[in-house]
Chains A and B, each alone.
Chain A
Amino acid sequence: MFPILEAEFLAPEIKRFVIEAPRVARKRRAGQFVIVRLHERGERIPLTIADGDADRGTITLIVQGVGKTTRLMNMLEAGDAVLDLVGPLGEPSDVRNYGTVVVIGGGVGTAIAWPTAKAMKAAGNRVVAIIGARTKELVLLEPELREIADELEIVTDDGSYGRKGVVIDPLCERIMRGNRIDLVLAIGPVRMMQAVAEMTRPSGIRTIVSLNSLMVDGTGMCGGCRVATKEGTRFACVDGPEFDAHIVDFDVLARRNRTYAANEAEALETFRANPNAALEFVRRSCRLDRCHAEGDLAEVSSS
């Protein structure tokens, strides 16, 4: 059982959790993720570690409510707990001094890019951050990025904040102008990452993406998260989640991610009919876990 110490909404449907997980906090590095299971009938979902505090023994997760499990998680408050949390998983970001690094975050991808952007800055890079959101109130982590980025550009689809457009617009301009770019890190929706990859491909700018494939165990035992690349099949959970954008087949990724669309819609509909019943189940499940730990065991007959 992993207690939630802090829980606050950063934007509608986007919540930040500080969770007690001392071992993960001690080990995690930028780019890694955890797998979380909320309750005893829950599914296992991957969530990137946005931040952490080894001394306090906590990690930070930023969760966007898109389906049943994430919406249910976003109903949890400080004082609640999640049943299972395992990590840190995946390979850490390859953090080095590249020169100028352009970090692009689309939507909640900004939260996933944030720890790597911070690590890139600490490694001596000049960091240009470009973050995008549908609208003003969904812009994430602006103060945090302002603190570390040498340049910060904010883009909204509707132009309600920053410039109007999509995150690849400012990247396109920089490439056209011939600005120095040694590495691009792009994290967000599949089609956004694909667009970035196509934009940097002609000039051969090294481009890294963090892939959000479906996962079950997160430790390499099932291959559900497999990614088609020019260099063969890779597992996002152990070989990634970060990959060279120029070798990834994004069409395959987008199609595989739709595998359970009907199931996901059904689960969300059932959940929406009675969200409080689901919340109660999480709370009961975590109490049960405490009982198990204290041991309610059968009679022993030793011979």
Chain B
Amino acid sequence: MSGNTLPPKERMKIPRQAMPEQEADLRRHTFTEVNQGLTVLGATTEALRCLECAKPVCMTGCPVGVKIRDFVELITAGDYLGAASKIREDNVLPAITGRVCPQETQCEGCCILGKKFEPLGVGYLERFVADYEREQGRIGLPEIAPPTGKRVAIIGSGPAGLSAAGDLVRWGHAVTVFEALHEIGGVLLYGIPEFRLPKEIVRHEVNALGQMGVEFQTNVVVGKTVTIDELMTEDGYDAVLVATGAGLPKFMDIPGEHLSGVYSANEFLTRVNLMHANDFPKYDEPVFDCRGQDIAVIGGGNTAMDAVRTAARLGARTSTLIYRRTEAEMPARVEEVRHAKQEGIDLLTLANPVAFLGDDEGRLTAVRCIRMELGAPDDSGRRSPVPIAGSEFELPVAMAVVALGTGANPLVQSSTPDMATNRKGYIAADPETLRTSKRGVFAAGDIVTGGATVILAMAAGRTAAASIRDYLDTGRWDGEPPSPA
């Protein structure tokens, strides 16, 4: 079946193919994608490195269980569309996960080649086949089962909702995805910037789901426009999946947070990514004019990295990332930190804001910070930052973005009183089946776990989809939990 005739020793001699990147000094000023993607030659060469393990451990590292060896074999055989449809059996958003997954801790972290050499570029290859099909104007779709007559409503069109929709529609269920915003994609659209994930690619993947039969309805806020009870009793949905994410921004609760120029990362990124404020006045939504200004972003995760790199692209004179631990503790992907540094982002580590300072007009002029040192490890095992008394200093900035994570938005929960939530407002769901306390209602993704990654949300979406299928097939809710499919 494989087109790879190289003996394993030869395969190991091939170096890992590098991802072509846009030059840092050019890309700092544009929103075009930083990573350019492997060429056909690069992808074929990279695919030849796969050892085609009898027991592919890479698969165990993939949260959605993509059949990595099989799709890589299809690449070596030159069947790129076949490779795409093989991936889509388990992952409906390959062009996206190929770009944003932290592969170093997942599939590639498990690759046998990585023990002695560089691991196989699984993410690069996944991205390659998805990009190939898009460039060809074709989509490698998996087979769709005959209609079951059962209807499922999915609330939220982020990664969890979309991956569940892909599975359910493949099994013959009628699926409607409800989205509060005017476009489908959730954080993939409003959160992750164009230079990491072009929106055209999100639209293409959503289009592929549409071709598989998923129906999308935008401008519907479940909890306000319609309730879960109405979806089930009046609109006749047999099951509901809540995949609304964790979109409620956290602020720091320090003085000056209401000054003009202080943003949540959600607001700053939504204005630029979803509303195209970087293209004002061609687009109507404005955003803080960063040109020639000093700006700061507070946080150390991927969202903080996205915000600070966005501000740099909006023309900021200096862009500083303020993080209370050291670079080693940053939750952001290594590649993102490297790209940020190449683009001239300054890292101000072991510092934490204590106040925002402003002028008479209520505009931000500076962030007052305090130096930190690392103390004893906390419950999570990370060393907690401790303020150093008397070490306060001021960083002059005109805009500050707070990227310290998000919480649970209560809109759906508060309109569904018989669905239990936990202390922090997240939906209580059985970890195996993702059933909630309300019959026929499931929950998946960040609204259950709190803020996590795209691929973990997709994995949860798949788990929920399998439980929903089981419930629709058997009608069983009480008693023994359904056995895994």
Interface residues of A (CB under 8 A from B): 23-24, 27, 37, 41-44, 68-69, 83-89, 216-217, 219-224, 226, 228, 232-233, 238, 249, 251-252, 255-256, 258-260, 262-264, 266-267, 270, 295, 297-303
Contact = CB atoms under 8 A, between A and B. Distances in A.
B402 to A, nearest CB: 9
B267 A256 contact: no
Contact of A217 (B137, B139, B142, B180): B180
B258 A298 contact: no
Contact of B139 (A42, A83, A258, A301): A301
Contacts of B361: 255, 258
A222 B402 CA distance: 11
B221 A222 contact: no
12 contacts: A41-B283, A83-B182, A220-B411, A221-B266, A222-B264, A223-B264, A228-B258, A263-B286, A295-B210, A299-B137, A301-B81, A303-B85
A302 B180 contact: no
A88 B140 contact: no
Interface in B232-282: 247-249, 251, 253, 257-258, 260-261, 263-264, 266-267, 270-271, 275-276, 280-282
B207 interface: yes
Given A43-B285, A223-B267, A256-B258, A87 B139 contact: no
A68 B226 CA distance: 31
B2 interface: no
Q: Lowest 5 CB-CB distances: which A-B pairs, in order?
A: A255-B362, A263-B286, A222-B267, A43-B284, A221-B247
B224 interface: yes
Interface in B139-161: 139-144
A273 to B, nearest CB: 11
Contact of A222 (B257, B270, B284): B270
Contacts, number: 153
A223 B404 CA distance: 14
Contacts of B261: 259
A221 B182 contact: no
Contacts of A298: 137-139, 207, 211
B3 to A, nearest CB: 17
Contact of B210 (A89, A224, A262, A297): A297
B220 A37 contact: no
Contacts of A297: 207, 210-211
Contacts of B270: 216-217, 221-222
B224 A89 contact: yes
Interface in B92-109: none
A236 to B, nearest CB: 12
Interface centre among B81, B139, B263, B289 (most CB of A within 10 A): B139
B285 A44 contact: yes
A21 to B, nearest CB: 9
Contact of B286 (A27, A88, A251, A264): A264
Contacts of B137: 298-299
- Max count, chain B CB within 10 A of own CB: residue among A27, A221, A223, A303: A221
Contacts of A69: 284
Contacts of A24: 225
B342 interface: no
Contacts of A258: 260, 361-362
A220 B286 contact: no
Interface string B52-79: 0000000000000000000000000000
Given A44-B275, A298-B139, A27 B226 contact: yes
Contacts of A44: 182, 275, 285
B267 to A, nearest CB: 4
